[in-house]
Amino acid sequence: MRIFLSKKEKKGKGFTLIELLIYVSVLVLIILAAGSLFLSASRSSRKAKAARETIDNTRRAIEVMTHEIREAKSIYTPTSVLSSSDGQLSLETTKYCPGGEITTYIDFYLCEQRLCLKKESQNPVALTSDRVEIENLEFYQVATSSIQISLKVNYKSLSTRPEDQFSINATSTVSLRTY
């Protein structure tokens, strides 16, 4: 005994090869678009992290130097290298004085690739994290009581990918309040 199915009954059962290929193609396109979006978001996140770290370190370094220069009594020129790339600035200050002394000295300079602050008779303190490097530090005396700070800060990354790189040049001019 044979059962014959009408065309209407045969049509609803299963997929044709063409339909299956269309479904797979659409699924592949959706997966590729989602993957591309994920990679783009990952790159943006890494770039933002590098920028944030570099900008935060630069801002903090400028703020500390600006504060100390404003509060300084004078620029100690025998050890300060002004108008050169051997960036060191020494300030005479009444802050941080060891017992019984009226004034003391603080220095800003590069120690390895980090910006350091050294108070007289104390160990240097790094003002920048180890995730950034100072490529260039310069101090220029623009007036008797004003110093221009110029520095270039790079994000340290083991990767050479563009999204892992960031660099910033910063310049600030500060005047001593005592003049």
Domain ranges of the chain: 33-175
Which pLDDT tens digit goes with each residue over 130-147? 999 999 999 998 888 889
Give the side-chain half-sphere CA count within 13 A for 170: 22
**pLDDT tens sequence across 33-76:** 999 999 999 889 989 999 999 999 999 999 999 999 999 998 88
Closest CA to 79 of 69, 87, 67: 87
DSSP secondary structure string for all residues of 145-159: TEEEEEEEEEE--S-
pTM of the model: 0.76
Q: How far apart are CA 113 and CA 150, in angstroms?
A: 15
What strand order describes the sheet that includes 132-143? Answer: 132-143, 146-155, 167-175
What average pLDDT does this structure show over 153-174?
91
Task: State residue 49's pLDDT score.
Answer: 92
Burial per residue of 65-93, b for 16 or more beta-carbon CB atoms within 10 angstroms, e otherwise: bbebbeebbebbeeebebeeeebbbbbbb
Helix (H, G, I), strand (E, B) or coil at 100: coil
Neighbours of 40 (CB within 10 A): 11
